[in-house]
Amino acid sequence: MNKRFLLKATAVLAAAAAFGTAQAQTTPIKFQLDWRFEGPAAFFLQPAAKGYFKDAKLDVTVDSGNGSGGAVTRVASGTYDLGFADLAALMEFHANNPDAPNKPVAIMMVYNNTPASVMALKKSGIKTPADLAGKKLGAPVFDAGRRAFPIFQKANGIGNVAWTAMDPPLRETMLVRGDVDAITGFTFTSLLNIEARGVKAEDVVVMQYPDFGVKLYGNAIIASPKILKENPAAVKAFLSAFTKGAKDVIADPAKAIESVKARDGIINVALETRRLQLAIDTVINSPSARAEGFGQINGPRLTLMASQVSDAFNTKTRVKVDDIWNGSFLPTSKELDILPKPKK
């Protein structure tokens, strides 16, 4: 065996070993969405489609969900490493399960404002929050807007209302049919669903919670304590890759929606592009998000929300802010500077 052959064989073996090591270093991460593969899911599907997670040595699996409560419990159970959930739902879980061994933690704010709204048809005569007194409101029992309605009610001095529960697909249908006077839901979900049922946008009254004194945060990326402790580098890499993808989504929502179409081929592309743009405009690139910085929180505001959730949700224990938020895994402020200035 000549020397040249030996050197070549050694080089091949070294390359193979290096490749194997690189493969072994890829960290698998299971990610749980809060909802179906609709427009806003592009924020997580785009960095996967563009290879940003792969470049960060992560093998990320993104699964659709059926509500924030489910996302919180699945991360708490260890079935998922990371998830996307309404911060109020996370707070409720903490306060109602003080002895749970694996309470998820919020590590990055994505929806700086709650997307929750009360929506009614103009023909109902409902124009302001005060007009809701004595009316029949509808929403699934786990709906974030319904859960937080006592905060909206208190902030606006609304009298008693009656609630009707239904499955999510029936909510907007029941409003259009007149079975309920108003509904709660995420603006970018319910408004477009009402339009899809034949009602023009100008015929819908939309009372967004942030516009009526309810400054709750919306959805955040949450993580299991296990992955935060065992692989903090992977968590940081995920948030960095996510932020890179988020910048792309905000810059070109129409292009980003292709990543959602790839996961659910029957989506209405035009509708979901509008839904994504509406989410960006109302809860992601909002004035408060630009003031606080993408991904970040304001301490006093978070403390107020914790108190409001404790009261409105009537939790077993009070929400402890230090237990539900950890911003130490966030990318640098330069990386997080992705929100464009508002168009004049």
Q: Does residue 133 or residue 15 have the better pLDDT?
A: 133
What is the pLDDT averaged over residues 256-275?
Answer: 96
CA torsion sign, 65 to 69 to 75 to 78?
Answer: negative
Supply the pTM of this predicted model: 0.90
Predicted confidence at residue 2, as pLDDT, reads 60
Could you give the angle at the alpha carbon of 108 between the alpha carbons of 104 and 109, nearest 5°?
110
Give the count of domains, the chain.
Answer: 2
Across the chain, where does the E strand assignment appear?
27-32, 58-63, 82-86, 105-109, 116-121, 136-138, 162-164, 182-186, 204-208, 219-223
Spatial separation of the C-alpha atoms in residues 258 and 314, rounded to whole Å: 42
pLDDT bucket at 338, cuts 50 / 70 / 90 = very high
Predicted confidence at residue 342, as pLDDT, reads 78
HSE-CB of 194 using CA atoms within 13 angstroms: 29
Q: 109 and 222 in one domain?
A: yes
Spatial separation of the C-alpha atoms in residues 116 and 216, rounded to whole Å: 9
Look at residue 20 and tell me whether its pLDDT is greater than 80: no
Q: 281 and 230 in one domain?
A: yes
Q: 322 and 179 in one domain?
A: no
Q: Which residues are 182's β-sheet partners?
A: 120, 137
Across 116-272, where does the E strand assignment appear?
116-121, 136-138, 162-164, 182-186, 204-208, 219-223
Note the pLDDT tens digit of each residue in 50-62: 999 999 999 999 9
Note the pLDDT tens digit of each residue in 178-234: 999 999 999 999 999 999 999 999 999 999 999 999 999 999 999 999 999 999 999
Mean pLDDT of the chain: 93
Q: Residue 92 belongs to what domain range? A: 27-113+217-336
Which residue in 192, 204, 207 sits closest to 122, CA to CA? 204
Q: 327 and 229 in one domain?
A: yes
pLDDT bucket at 13, cuts 50 / 70 / 90 = low
Q: 223 and 204 in one domain?
A: no
Spatial separation of the C-alpha atoms in residues 166 and 147, rounded to whole Å: 14
